[in-house]
Amino acid sequence: MLYVCVYIHTVNTQIHKCIELKSNGALRDRKGGVCGCQVLEDTCLFPFQHIVYLVALFVTAFNDRTTSLRMPQMPMRGGCFQVSEIEEFRLQGEAVVLRCPKTESLLAKRGLLHATGHTYHFTGADMDTLLPNDTGRVRTQGHRLWFLPARTTDTGNYTCIFRNASYCIAGTISLQIYQNKDPHLDVISYPNLAFPGPNGMIVCPNVNEFNRTGQLQWFKDSTPIVLSADHNRYHRHMDNALTIQNVSPRDAGFYTCELRVVINDVHYKVTRTINLSVPGTHWQCKQSLFLQPEIIFPSSGDIFEASIGSNLEIPCRVLIGGQSADSTEVTWLVDGLAIEESILKGRAFLRERTRGSHIELKLNLLELYEEDTRAVIKCVTQNPWGRQEVIAQIKLENNSTWLVVGTAGATAFFTMVFIFLYHLLKAQRKDYILAKQNTMF
């Protein structure tokens, strides 16, 4: 409901009215109502000024409505939009930091992340609010939740909650802390695929939150990797990557990057494990065709429609036959780049599910931009026996319906304004005639 404060200055009287603009276009005087807006003291609003004033209010209300429409459709519980964050798997005794990247992305796109007048806090697995502190083992600092160090008892769901006068957004993170990594390598490791060739690279993921005290140390299957010799096949690349020369299937295995960090004068260890797969090259053509994965949805060129500002989900379903899901990679590429390196960075995430002989990888786009319709978005699957890719196209929904509705609404609004002004001027003329008659007597 939209209310307008109108200050009417006539010959004999001054009226401060609160007019209710009803959804059916009618005007209703809210007698004795409080508008909550500033009265224009000692100001005579002529008819043209009335129009400008009311049009400005109409535009403001329309913009507010448009902004609310751009909020992605998300489930709501307890008055808060619910966001499902990515699961985290970590090891006991290490420094662990949690954040809510999807929630932060939603807030940043609306200019709310660093705005004033809001609260941001975490609740623990027991639903108790975790208060900011700098000394506890579990502490919150800004938009981060730290475990220094983590324990297996920290396993559970944690929620980051943003709240202001207009929005409440809650992101839930599932944290699993393991006592040691060896029995759980397949779960805690990050998959990486490299094909035989001159060079390959492994990146140590998710370590930018930490201030390091030295360089990363690398291990292959728990054996330290020597990086100093010039003739060595392993070389350090920048600060967080390892390059391998002359990649072959024998390079497959589990690689671990380890760094040491200091937080409040206390030393902690942080590790990440990467599962590198390198397919072989010597297979018969007949066997290759039979064992290669097949994308059964979408078909190349399928169109997915959505409106600007809305969220969009595109599934990619792959048939792997009788092969192991571990030997099949499925991913989404945008203009040939991974999601986190593309124009979708920070506003899209992937969710994978394996069922029998099928792998489904969903591309979840939190907020659609117009530029996304011009991107080349591919679902790519490959295993040691073959590769396939399909292109999915994004198209904007037809907004002609909204244009018609908006035009009709604007027409009704201006008709209402002119009716209002007609009655206003009629009252002014009546006051003027009465005043003239009084002067004659």
Stretch among 6-20, 88-102, 385-399 having the lowest mean pLDDT: 6-20
**128 vs 403: which has the higher pLDDT:** 128
Indicate if the pLDDT at residue 326 is higher than 70. yes
Residue 196 pLDDT class (50, 70, 90 cuts) = confident
Query: Which residue do the tokens 């902690």 mark?
Result: 268
Question: How confident is the model over 17-22, as a mean pLDDT?
Answer: 42
Q: What is the pLDDT of residue 399?
A: 54
Residue 380 pLDDT class (50, 70, 90 cuts) = very high
- Topology of domain 189-277 in CATH is Immunoglobulin-like (2.60.40)
Tell me the per-residue pLDDT of 126-182, one tens digit each, with 9 for 90 and over: 667 776 776 789 988 888 999 999 999 999 999 999 999 888 999 999 999 998 887
**Exposure class string for 98-122: b at 16+ Cβ within 10 A, else e:** bbbbbbbbbbebbebbeeeebebbb
Distance CA 315, CA 201 (A): 28
Q: What is the pLDDT of residue 273?
A: 93
Distance CA 139, CA 144 (A): 8
Looking at mean pLDDT, say which of 38-47, 83-92, 179-188 comes out highest: 83-92
164 exposed, middle or buried (CB, 10 Å; 0-12, 13-18, 19+)?
A: middle
Residue 183 pLDDT class (50, 70, 90 cuts) = confident
Q: What is the pLDDT of residue 63?
A: 44
Q: What is the pLDDT of residue 65?
A: 42
Q: What is the pLDDT of residue 96?
A: 95
Indicate if the pLDDT at residue 81 is higher than 50. yes
> Class of 78-178 per CATH?
mainly beta
Q: What is the pLDDT of residue 257?
A: 94
Q: What is the pLDDT of residue 50?
A: 47
Mean pLDDT of the residues in the chain: 75
Q: What is the pLDDT of residue 363?
A: 94
Q: Which residues contact 44 (CB under 8 A, 6 or more apart)?
A: 9
Percent of residues, the chain, with pLDDT higher than 90? 23
Percent of residues, the chain, with pLDDT higher than 70? 69
What is the number of helices (H) and of strands (E) in the chain? 5, 29
**7 vs 160: which has the higher pLDDT:** 160
**253 vs 435: which has the higher pLDDT:** 253
Q: Give the residue among 143, 150, 145 at the shortest CA–CA distance from 124.
A: 145
Indicate if the pLDDT at residue 43 is higher than 50. no
Indicate if the pLDDT at residue 264 is higher than 90. no
- Which residues on neighbouring strands pair with residue 391, listed in sequence order? 378
Residue 415 pLDDT class (50, 70, 90 cuts) = confident
Q: What is the pLDDT of residue 310?
A: 87
Q: CATH for 285-396? A: 2.60.40.10
Tell me the per-residue pLDDT of 272-299, one tens digit each, with 9 for 90 and over: 999 998 887 443 343 444 467 889 888 8
Residue 369 pLDDT class (50, 70, 90 cuts) = very high
**8 vs 304: which has the higher pLDDT:** 304
Residue 256 pLDDT class (50, 70, 90 cuts) = very high
Q: What is the pLDDT of residue 93?
A: 95
Question: How confident is the model over 208-228, as a mean pLDDT?
Answer: 85
Q: Give the residue among 87, 102, 173, 95 at the shortest CA–CA distance from 138.
A: 95
Stretch among 20-29, 51-60, 186-195, 403-412 having the lowest mean pLDDT: 20-29
Domain with CATH 2.60.40.10 in the chain: 78-178, 189-277, 285-396
Distance CA 215, CA 207 (A): 12
**48 vs 338: which has the higher pLDDT:** 338
Residue 25 pLDDT class (50, 70, 90 cuts) = very low
Question: How confident is the model over 366-394, as a mean pLDDT?
Answer: 89
Question: How confident is the model over 102-112, as a mean pLDDT?
Answer: 84
Question: How confident is the model over 361-373, as a mean pLDDT?
Answer: 91
